[in-house]
Structures are given as structure tokens and as C-alpha cells.
Structure 1
């Protein structure tokens, strides 16, 4: 097995780095930094923390992911996928609980990378990914209704159904000016790409709506439009690194949300890197990327940040604006730092309805309704997984959805693997023209002696095969003297398969039936040998090909007649 070597892409890209590449990276980094600004503020507020913590997360995570990551163009930072789970953790465990959970998630992500689980995570079934991503999008949209329409609600419940009930009961408190700002923000963001690919619509909406809000307040006497400054005290001071107080009881209680953060972060970052690979024609190192994401989530909470991962939208913005290497991500972090230090106080004038509009567009982009609709035409098992994950995400929370989704994924994988294993009985004779384990030179049909049954396993031998053996053998009324089990098409056998094979042999032994194995490949033979299987049926009864197995079976039958 090839040894995993942690080697960030930055190391390789700096070898042939030149001024032209740097200029391209610098321009891309500046644009991505500008794009990331409104999103970082919106994600921070929607997650239940202050806006500056969203920006700090984008700065620290963006820097760490670019320096240590396994992708040339990946941009790290806070994303919409984490909003719901962060908000839930804060409600239950507080800010300190979120900090500890993020640190634990960072540790898990590093462990995932060290254990080379990067490629495995990418094989999580597509219906599960679409299900919880669509569920997150619907939940994000739901959380923005109050600010989008300026509803007067003292306390919005966290439960999805209760939340909509409260909205309907308080819809008569709608503020027309806030609603106008929110709806116009959505329109601006939606139409901007038709006129400009460089400047993000979210930034244009924030600038215009902030100016509009100030004009309404100062010249029209409109004071009902709530701004960031009305809800938060804005600070542009860089926080000092601090470790939270951690106890064993706290760590145990936060294992589940920490794993959820880690799994979600791994999935989103690797999906983002894979999408980027398809555009730039490169191949990212998934395990190095996981370690980088882990390091980012170990660093951001120390400065008060929230969980971060690879951001698809910002990564694509980086690519579309000429980003060539991780240097673009480093520049993006630097741009955000400068904005934080010198322009952060201006964020207090941004209307909350405008940020709600930004997140409404984000939720629409996340919902993937076309993929959802397409999956509804797939097999019923995929549709079931899709809908269960989707509704669990909405009605309960993301932790439950991911846990149940992963369990369903495992069960589906095992079910489908068992379906690939076929057990059949061979009657009368074996045609050498269709076989692969018949001894060279024997071109005549091989006749199966009387009192011998030949069964063949086609596929991996594990839990499903044992049941199929029992069902097939029950269909034959006569008890043979010898059962030959052909395993030439068995690539591997696991402990469950060994257990089932052992039970089969013990049951056959009680019935006076001998078991002979045929065509066992060296890997399977070695596994059986370590499990002590040879002691049960005898080394001489594990044959390399069917000729030997039939000869051995004939000897056993004739010996029984004496």
C-alpha cells in the first residue's frame, strides 16, 4: 500500500511561480475577498454569532486552507451548510460549547485525512447529499422570514413547524420598508450576473440598500428598518487566541455535533475540490485537503470563529477570475483582514432585511431543486433515502439527518453488495469452455459423481451468501455425501462470511455431509487459514481447481460405500 504523504499544493505550485501567475492570483484574490465579505457577515449573523466572527472565520480558515490544502484553488471559510447546526449547538451548549465542538471537529478531520478516508467520504450516496443539502436550504430560508419582512416577533422558536406557525400568526406585523429592502436585494443579486461577472450581486445589494436605509432614516423619518448596529455592537479589534475550558463531560456531550460538523465539512470541502478539478483539469489530494480543513477548524475557534469548510461559490469565483494557485486564497484572506481592520465599523449600517435577502438567494442556490426533481425519477430505494434525509433535516436537525443518512447509506451498501453475490447449483456436468479454473488439458465435460452437489459463489462472500446457501439447499430434498463449494469468483471473504461458512460446515458435518472447497484464491485461502478453517474441514479439502475437488469428492463417496 502506498504511504500517505502530507504535501500541500502550495509547495508544488511555488516551484515554477512567476510574476504573471502572481498578478493573476492577486486579482482573483481581491475579487474573492470582496465576494466573501457579505457572505461572511450574513453567515455569521444567521449562525447566531456576531458579524465580525463570520469575517474572522473567513480570514483564518481562508489562510489555513490555502497554505495547507490539497487543492490549488480551494477557498475556505464559513458556508451556509453550517448555519443550522451552529445555531442549534449555540442554543443548546452556548458559544463555548460551539468552540469546543469545532475544535473536536477539527481533530476528527485531521484524523480522517491521516487515516486516508478522503476517497471513502466521496462515496457517500448522492441522494443523501442532495437530501440534507436541500433540507438545509429550506431551513435557511425559513430562518430569514422574520428579517426579510421585518416581522415583530420577540422570540422565534427553533422548531421548523412551530416557526412557521409563529410567522403566520405575526404576519400582520410586517414592515413594508424592510420588506421592500429585502425583496429589492433579492432582485439585485439575481439580475447582477447578467450585467457583471466580476462584481458580486450581494455586495452591490448591500451597498445600495445600506445607502437607501440611511436616506430613509435621515430624510424620510423611517426608523423601522433594523440594521446590524441595532442588534450587535460592531468591533474591528483582532481577538486574542483563547482556549476554552474543557471537561470530560462536555467533550462527551459534544461528540455527536462535532462528528456532524466534521462529516459535513469533509463532504462539502471534497465536493468543492472535485468540482474545481473538473473546471481546471487538475486533481486535488483529498487526504491533504481533509487535514487542511481540520487545521482550519482547530485554528478558527481559538479566535472566536465558527466552523469552516471549502466554499463552492467562492472557489468557482476564484477560478472564473483567473486564480491559479493557493496564493489567491492567501490574498483573499489578506483583503478580508484589511476590510475588517479599516471598514468594519461601516457594517453597522447594513439593513438586516438586506442580509436576509442575501441568504434567501444562497438558500435557493443550495436547494438544488433540479437535482431533487431528477432523483425523484430514480429507483424507490434512492427516493426513500432522499426524502427521509430531506425531512429529517427540516423537522429535526442536521445531526439526526446525517446520522440516519449514514446508517441508511451503510444498509443500502450492504444490501446492494449482497445482491451482487449469487449462489447457484451446478447439475450433472461442467462445461470446460465456460470455466476458468479447470485444469489445462482437460477439454471434456466433467461429470459430477452421484452423491455430490456442486454450488458456486459468484461475488464477495459475506452475510448475504450464507442465507442464500440455506435457501438453495432447502430446495433439494436429497442429502448428498459431498458438497463442493466453488469459490473461484470470490474476491474476498470477511469475518461474517467466515462465520456463515463455519456454520454451514458444522451443520453439514452433523448431517454426515463433507464440504470441499474449490478454486480458492490465495487471498481468500490465507484468510481462511488464519481463521483456523483448515482444521475444521482439513487442508486436503481446500482445492485449487475443480478437477481436484471432483476427484476428492469421488474418493469420499467411494470410501463411504465400503
Structure 2
């Protein structure tokens, strides 16, 4: 049965009681986030093999839609660093036209996930998998920026790990010291700005806003200073203008992708990868935001908004979009109270494109590379590597394998392996928790002298395909007359477990052994009813093990002996 679709953006409830004071807070937060998003949007697009405006268009269109239609009160959407490796690979292998198609398909997948209420399933992806591929993506982002950080002349950068290493190694002789100097200076400013700005004193009319400087993002300061230095001193470094011809001062025309099956079938797996990564990133980001503002997002509404945004963004030259943690945290710390702040951030970027686009031509690519290096460092959870010794072997193997596969192979293979390994580990652990315990005359005195004829076993855990060995062992060692199974502590029985119980019934009938089941609860009782197991047992069902022992021994039901 298809669940009823509930489409209710968080904006509707957030506007209840909305006043001028809240709008002022949202306006300030939106403007601040736009300042942070401006260099990141261009940097993410360039690192993905696209023109810088693709990132800006995405931040404007997708950012506005995610805020207006999403299920979080303060989440900011737009291009994200996590997509860089995937998007670059798609562009290199299939071209920009097919990236548009893959993004559109990923939007449709996200929309369907939200409609069918699959938002909560994303939380089932193990932490080891998430940390592994997040750290792997961070390494690849940093690696991909070495070219512009050093100012190397490489006609076309490969998309795979070993190809990147080979290209960098064979072109080190083209190092541009001016570009390296700009990149290092920019990185120092990005890293140290917040610390330095807090120490700047307020000096009357000279520095009246000294105490406010720390609120200015270091990336913007580095961008302004580096761009000014390159323009004033005519430094021989590559800029947005020299590589891309600048940024257009308008939004692009509507472009409808080719949705033919021949094209779509080749892009299905990349689209699924984009959709899953987008879902994971956005819902993790929303959970971080919830913790900061004391709220709870609607994961299904968020996925629907992400889907609509990823359908609309590529129609206007955009790239994949998702929730972004850095910009969302900035939004919260800047005092945002509603999705209006995210909408203001998108509209601010639109104004910047329409008014100040020509200024972007002088931005040095070395500075954007430095900003992305900083993003990659903050993106990774590097402390987890130093803490691996405190975790079990399956966790360590999963995290390291996903990390290495992400770096060396690709993200799709890494996530597939990670989820597979996590499932195998889970099955193994649950099967080990499923156990049996034989009840003796010490517990049930009525069994005294009759334990060769009557066996009483208490089962614990889940009776599923990974733990049916318990039933098989009982089949191999049947008592002479009666087998009593206490199922009160069995919390789950799957179809394989039910089938094995039926085999036990048949084995007992064939051997002339009476089988009594006791204490079937909820789900086990329901599956026994649906599979016909209840009919096969007929009167051999008892409410508890005491009644089962009494039925087996012909005595009055009695509680187990103390101790």
C-alpha cells in the first residue's frame, strides 16, 4: 500500500508569529551565509570540472528551493564538497550534458525516497561507512587541488587516484612559484584569520569595527586580499578570467535534459550514487542543525525538497546540491530563526551575480584551491584513525576498507562494500546473541528422573536465517518422548526460522516425539499463525514454560524452583 504523501514545508510553521525582529535576524544570517557561500560555490564547481557559475547557479536555485520547501528550519543547501569527486568523474567520462541528466535522475530518486517515507532508513548506514567515505572524499578533494595550489600546467587532470598521482608527478617541473606563494598566503589567512581578528583592538574612527572582524569569514578575506594583490601587481597566476573567461552577469537559459532510455540507463548508477550521497549529507546536516537549535527536522520533507532542488538546478546550468554543514552552522551561529535566512542567502548571491560578476574574473585559482584544502581538512574526521585501536576488528576493517576504496577505486564501490561488510558483521553478532539453555530438574523439579525422556530448552534472541543452527542441533539430538521449547525470549522469527521450526515439527512427528511450544510472543506468534505452524502444532501450544512442563510430565503447573 502506497503511503499518503504529506508535503508540508517547514517554512509554513516557521512563519507562525513571524515579526520584524525575527526577519532582521534572518536577514543578517542570510547575508553572512552568502558571504561564506560565494567562494565555496565557485571553488566546488571548478574542482568538479565545471565553470564557476555552475556552483553559483546551484547555490541560488537549489539553495532557495531547499530552504523554502525543506523539512529543516535552518539548513542551508547548495553545492557540496562531497560531490566533487563524483561530479568530476561523471564530467570526464560522460560529459556535462550527461551530468545534467544524472543530476535530474538523482532528484527524481530523492523525491521518490521522500514520497515513500524512506528518510529514516538513511540513519541505518553504519558510522564506520560514513566516516570512511567522508575521509576518503576529503583526501581526494585535497589531492585534486594540488594542481592549482602549485600552479602546475596540466592540460587535463585524470579522475582516478593513480592517474592524478602520475599527472602531478610528471608535471612538477611546471611549478609556478607565484601561484604557490598566493596559495600559501591564502591558506595562512583562511586558517589564522579568526584567531588574529579577535585580537584586533577597537581604535575609535580608525578601526571602529575591530571587535566585529572575527565574524568575517577568513575565506572572504583571503579572496579579497589575493584578488587585489594579483590585480595590482599583475602576478603571473591563473585566474577565473584566464581559464573560464569570467562569470556571466545573468542566469542561464532553461535547458531540458535528454530523458530517453538509451541515455538514462547509462546514468542510472551515477544518479543513484548522487542521490544516496545527497540524502546522507543532507540528513546528517539536518541532525547537526537540530542539535544546535533544539529542533527536529522532517527527513521525508527534506528529501522531497532535495529532490525538487536537484531536478530544478540542472535545468539552469547547476550541479548536484545537498545540505551543507559549514554553511548551516554559520547560519545558526549568525542567529537564523527560520528558512527565510536560507532564502535571503540565495537571493543575495543572485544580486552578486547580477551586479558584481565582472569582479570575479580576477579571482586567482590558487586561492580557491587553498580554500578547498581548508575545507577538505575540516571535512575529514581524522581523529577516528588514531582511535581505531579502541574499536573491534570489524569496525576497523570496515572503516579502513571504505576509506581506501573511496580513494583508490570509487565512492560507489566503497559504499557498497561498507554496507555489505556492516550487514555481515551485524548478522554474525546477532547470530552469536541467539542461544539456547537447557532447563533441568534443579529448575523444574517435575523433571527429576525423567530428563532422558523429556527435554526443556529455553531459546533467546532472534531465530533468523543466520541462527537456525540452534534448531538443527535440536533436530539432531531429540529426546525419547517430549521436547519442550520456551520461546518467551525469542523476539523475532523470520521465514527461514519459521521453516526450520516446521522441519522440527516434522522431525518430531517422524521420531514419535511430542513437541510443545511455550510463550510465543507478538511477532513470533504472528509468523507462526501466517505460516501454518500453529495448525501443525494444534493443541501443543502453552502460554508459558511452566504449563509446558506440566503438560509434558502430567503434573500440575508449578513455578520454577528458586535459584
Q: What TM-score does the superposition give when structure 2 sets the normalisation length?
A: 0.90
Answer yes or no: is the 8 Å Cα contact 1:28–1:322 preserved in 2. yes
Structure 1 stretch displaced more, 514-523 or 21-30: 514-523
> SS of the residue aligned with 2:250?
coil
Structure 1 stretch displaced more, 306-315 or 373-382: 373-382
Offset at 1:534?
2.6
Offset at 1:450?
4.6
Answer yes or no: is the 8 Å Cα contact 2:227–2:362 preserved in 1. yes
Offset at 1:449?
5.7
- 1:546 correspondence with 2:542: no
Tell me, in whole angstroms, the C-alpha distance in 1 between the residues paired with 2:374 and 2:5.
40
Tell me, in whole angstroms, the C-alpha distance in 1 between the residues paired with 2:178 and 2:344.
38
> SS of the residue aligned with 1:465?
coil
Q: Hey, what does 1:203 align to over in structure 2?
A: 220
Runs of 5+ in structure 1 lacking a partner?
432-443, 556-562
Q: Deviations over 1:307-337 (max 9, x none)?
A: 1111000000001111111000010010011
Offset at 1:126?
0.9
Structure-to-structure mapping, 1:125-204, within 5 angstroms: 125-194=126-195, 195=197, 196-204=213-221
- 1:412 correspondence with 2:425: yes
Answer yes or no: is the 8 Å Cα contact 2:108–2:311 preserved in 1. yes
Answer yes or no: is the 8 Å Cα contact 1:430–1:445 preserved in 2. no
Q: Do the aligned partners of residues 56 and 376 (structure 1) sit closer, same or farther apart at CA in structure 2, a change above 3 Å counting? A: farther
- 1:110 correspondence with 2:111: yes
Tell me, in whole angstroms, the C-alpha distance in 2 between the residues paired with 1:446 and 1:66.
68
Tell me, in whole angstroms, the C-alpha distance in 1 between the residues paired with 2:374 and 2:129.
23
Structure-to-structure mapping, 1:423-438, within 5 angstroms: 423-430=436-443
Q: Hey, what does 1:434 align to over in structure 2?
A: none
Answer yes or no: is the 8 Å Cα contact 1:113–1:291 preserved in 2. yes
Offset at 1:458?
1.1
Offset at 1:175?
0.6
Answer yes or no: is the 8 Å Cα contact 2:440–2:451 preserved in 1. no
Aligned residue-pair number:
536
Answer yes or no: is the 8 Å Cα contact 1:72–1:326 preserved in 2. yes
Structure 1 stretch displaced more, 294-303 or 304-313: 294-303
Answer yes or no: is the 8 Å Cα contact 1:429–1:445 preserved in 2. no
Tell me, in whole angstroms, the C-alpha distance in 2 between the residues paired with 1:27 and 1:538.
71
Tell me, in whole angstroms, the C-alpha distance in 1 between the residues paired with 2:346 and 2:156.
35
Q: Hey, what does 2:202 align to over in structure 1?
A: none
Structure-to-structure mapping, 1:262-281, within 5 angstroms: 262-281=275-294
Tell me, in whole angstroms, the C-alpha distance in 2 between the residues paired with 1:404 and 1:370.
23
Offset at 1:492?
2.5
Tell me, in whole angstroms, the C-alpha distance in 2 between the residues paired with 1:282 and 1:410.
31
Offset at 1:375?
3.6
> SS of the residue aligned with 1:491?
strand
Q: Do the aligned partners of residues 144 and 498 (structure 1) sit closer, same or farther apart at CA in structure 2, a change above 3 Å counting? A: same
Q: Deviations over 1:393-452 (max 9, x none)?
A: 000111111122222222223223323322222223536xxxxxxxxxxxx877676512
Offset at 1:228?
1.1
Tell me, in whole angstroms, the C-alpha distance in 2 between the residues paired with 1:119 and 1:20.
35
Q: Hey, what does 1:452 align to over in structure 2?
A: 454
Structure 1 stretch displaced more, 335-344 or 196-205: 196-205
Offset at 1:388?
0.5
Tell me, in whole angstroms, the C-alpha distance in 1 between the residues paired with 2:388 and 2:118.
27
Structure 1 stretch displaced more, 249-258 or 290-299: 249-258
Q: Hey, what does 1:236 align to over in structure 2?
A: 249
Tell me, in whole angstroms, the C-alpha distance in 2 between the residues paired with 1:511 and 1:241.
75
Q: Hey, what does 1:350 align to over in structure 2?
A: 363
Q: Hey, what does 2:302 align to over in structure 1?
A: 289
Tell me, in whole angstroms, the C-alpha distance in 2 between the residues paired with 1:210 and 1:506.
82
Structure-to-structure mapping, 1:350-389, within 5 angstroms: 350-389=363-402
Answer yes or no: is the 8 Å Cα contact 1:103–1:298 preserved in 2. yes
Q: Hey, what does 1:469 align to over in structure 2?
A: 471
Q: Hey, what does 2:91 align to over in structure 1?
A: 90
Q: Do the aligned partners of residues 247 and 3 (structure 1) sit closer, same or farther apart at CA in structure 2, a change above 3 Å counting? A: closer
Aligned CA RMSD, in angstroms, stands at 2.2
Tell me, in whole angstroms, the C-alpha distance in 2 between the residues paired with 1:430 and 1:236.
84
Structure 1 stretch displaced more, 505-514 or 282-291: 505-514
Q: Deviations over 1:432-479 (max 9, x none)?
A: xxxxxxxxxxxx8776765122222212221233113334665x5x64
Tell me, in whole angstroms, the C-alpha distance in 2 between the residues paired with 1:51 and 1:347.
9
Q: Hey, what does 2:239 align to over in structure 1?
A: 227
Answer yes or no: is the 8 Å Cα contact 1:462–1:497 preserved in 2. yes
Answer yes or no: is the 8 Å Cα contact 2:516–2:548 preserved in 1. yes
Q: Hey, what does 1:500 align to over in structure 2?
A: 500
> SS of the residue aligned with 2:95?
helix
> SS of the residue aligned with 1:488?
strand
Runs of 5+ in structure 2 lacking a partner?
198-212, 555-563
Answer yes or no: is the 8 Å Cα contact 1:52–1:236 preserved in 2. no
> SS of the residue aligned with 1:54?
helix
> SS of the residue aligned with 1:188?
helix
Tell me, in whole angstroms, the C-alpha distance in 2 between the residues paired with 1:250 and 1:481.
67
Tell me, in whole angstroms, the C-alpha distance in 2 between the residues paired with 1:256 and 1:424.
48
Tell me, in whole angstroms, the C-alpha distance in 1 between the residues paired with 2:20 and 2:343.
16
Offset at 1:139?
0.4
Q: Hey, what does 1:514 align to over in structure 2?
A: 514
Tell me, in whole angstroms, the C-alpha distance in 2 between the residues paired with 1:451 and 1:3.
56
> SS of the residue aligned with 1:151?
coil
- 1:390 correspondence with 2:390: no
Tell me, in whole angstroms, the C-alpha distance in 2 between the residues paired with 1:333 and 1:203.
17
Tell me, in whole angstroms, the C-alpha distance in 2 between the residues paired with 1:482 and 1:98.
67
Tell me, in whole angstroms, the C-alpha distance in 2 between the residues paired with 1:502 and 1:54.
60
Answer yes or no: is the 8 Å Cα contact 1:157–1:163 preserved in 2. yes
Answer yes or no: is the 8 Å Cα contact 1:423–1:465 preserved in 2. no
Q: Do the aligned partners of residues 253 and 415 (structure 1) sit closer, same or farther apart at CA in structure 2, a change above 3 Å counting? A: farther
Moved over 4 A (4+): 1-4, 444-450, 471-474
Q: What TM-score does the superposition give when structure 1 sets the normalisation length?
A: 0.91
